[in-house]
Amino acid sequence: MSDRKNTTFSSKVGLIMAAAGSAVGLGNIWKFPYIAGENGGGAFLVVYLLCVLLFGMPLLMTEFMIGKRSGKSAYGAFHALSGNNRWQWLSWLCMLTAFVIMGFYFVVTGWCFNYLVEAVTNALGGLSAQELNAHFDTIQSSNIRMIGFGILPVLLTAGVLWFDVNTGIERLSKVLMPLLLILMLLMAGVVLMMDGSSAGMRFFFRFDFAQFTPRVVMEAMGQCFFSLSIGMGALITYGAYMPKGQNVIATSVQVIVLDTIVALLAGVIIFPAVFAFGFDPAEGPELVFVVLPAIFEKMTLPWLSSVLFFALLCIAAITSTISLMEVVVAFICEATAGKKHPLNRRQAVLITSVLVIALLVTCVFVPEVFNYSDLVSACVMMPLGALGMAVFVGWRLHKIGKKSVQPNEKWIKRWARMFYLFVLRFIVPLAILLIVLNGLGVL
């Protein structure tokens, strides 16, 4: 199988769907509502949206550009653009970050599949909130179950990557992403028709100045990186598959809009339901797994709602794991190309899968690794990767930035280019420093 033959998405929509598939994931549906719930709802939402506009957008464009202009994956992109090896550490950081995220991401995706199976077989039916809480603990204490359900998405992801990018990733994303949106709209409709849902909407959409704290700002910034898949090469890799003539700015805007819509819809589904049934929005990571099934029990169509919800959680997770694994697969293919033992795509998929399963097993048996990888990837590695890329383009290769910002109007062109460079050079590094210090507990 030729690795070069099919390494471009066949359409612009394909790339947008795949990149949105990467961005939209557990970060939107599992993490966003519980972090927003813990950080005052509306206050978090406002800061999050500001972060997305201020540095999510320029960083997303930057990553796409690095990939598109170099035509290389995270392995070769920095070398191709700078012509030297001084930035190679960034390539390795991207690959390492992908692995660290995959360790815990596959564990949580395994929980989603576990709950989907239980929703389909109605195993959760009739359980009280306390029983559901105990059930979540039981799942976490059964290593075999966690490994089994964790390996399932690894195999599914590897199955998609087994094919060329436009046969596997592109085709699947074009089906799954619209399906995900339809399912979410359906669920939001069901929830909004419930009595008492307005309190949840108020919590989510009302900006209460008293809730506005430095911690909220930090959490929102970290969530912005994680949710948009910024700083670990996924978007560089997809950028390299961008069809000729695709506009980086327009594509970035579309991906951001889709990612934000899904996060908002997740909040619109979860908070009204939480409030309507008197649960605590600051429940934490269990919010989706304990509170929601309890809520589904009280709804008119409990089986259908829970099957729909966990199905969409699994869909969102899989399109993200695909992009995570693709970073490593493309990296391996490119790093070994032209060497004594070049590896083709399928060999790279096999090697990556074995390594990921080993990591998954480690995460399950050593809970510290699980907790540690979540914290280290979101609060240290992704911000550092993004910082490296911002400095690389903003200070080293700002010419790339200049050429890429090309709106039609002249004054906008100048204004946009200057703003873009200013953000990349100053705002992004400063913001990242704050996130990392916060993540390390210094602030």
Helix 345-365 to helix 367-376 angle, to the nearest 10 degrees?
120
- Least gap, CB of 210 to ligand PHE (angstroms): 29
Shortest Å distance, C-beta 115 to ligand PHE = 17
Residues 68-87 that bind ligand PHE (CB under 6 A): none
What does the block give as tokens for 413? 């062109």
Nearer to ligand PHE by C-beta: 263 or 307? 263
Residue 291 binding ligand PHE, by CB under 6 A: no
Q: Which residue is nearest to ligand PHE (CB)?
A: 27
| Of 229 and 306, CB closest to ligand PHE | 229
Is position 26 an interface residue for ligand PHE (rule: CB under 6 A)? yes
Of 8 and 227, nearer to ligand PHE (C-beta) is: 227
Within residues 92-121, the interface with ligand PHE by CB under 6 A covers 101
Query: Quick one: tokens of 347?
Result: 């060999």
Running DSSP on this structure, what letter comes out for residue 243? P
CB of 202 to ligand PHE, least distance (A): 26
Nearer to ligand PHE, 68 or 135 (CB): 68
User: According to CB under 6 A, which residues from 213 to 272 bind ligand PHE?
Assistant: 226-227, 229, 232, 234
Q: CA-to-CA distance for 270 and 197, rounded, in angstroms?
A: 10
Instruction: Say whether residue 320 binds ligand PHE (CB under 6 A).
Output: yes
Helix axes 214-227, 382-391, angle to 10 degrees: 80
What letters, b where the CB count within 10 A reaches 16 and e where it falls short, cover 313-339? bbbbbbbbbbbbbbbbbbbbbbbbeee
Give SS3 for 323. helix
CB of 398 to ligand PHE, least distance (A): 26
Would residue 418 be called left, alpha or beta, if left means φ above 0 and alpha means ψ between -120 and 50 degrees? alpha
Q: Select from 8, 62, 251, 323 the one that contacts ligand PHE (CB under 6 A).
A: 323
Least CB distance to ligand PHE at residue 191 (A): 21
| Near ligand PHE by CB under 6 A: residue from 23, 177, 190, 255 | 23
According to DSSP, residue 198 is labeled H
Is residue 40 within 8 A of residue 227, CB to CB? The reply is no
**Residue position matching structure tokens 């239980």:** 118
User: Rounded to the nearest whole angstrom, what is the least distance from the CB of residue 378 to ligand PHE in the complex?
Assistant: 8
Q: How far apart are CA 76 and CA 335, in angstroms?
A: 8
The contact set with ligand PHE (CB under 6 A) reads 22-23, 25-28, 101, 226-227, 229, 232, 234, 320, 323-324
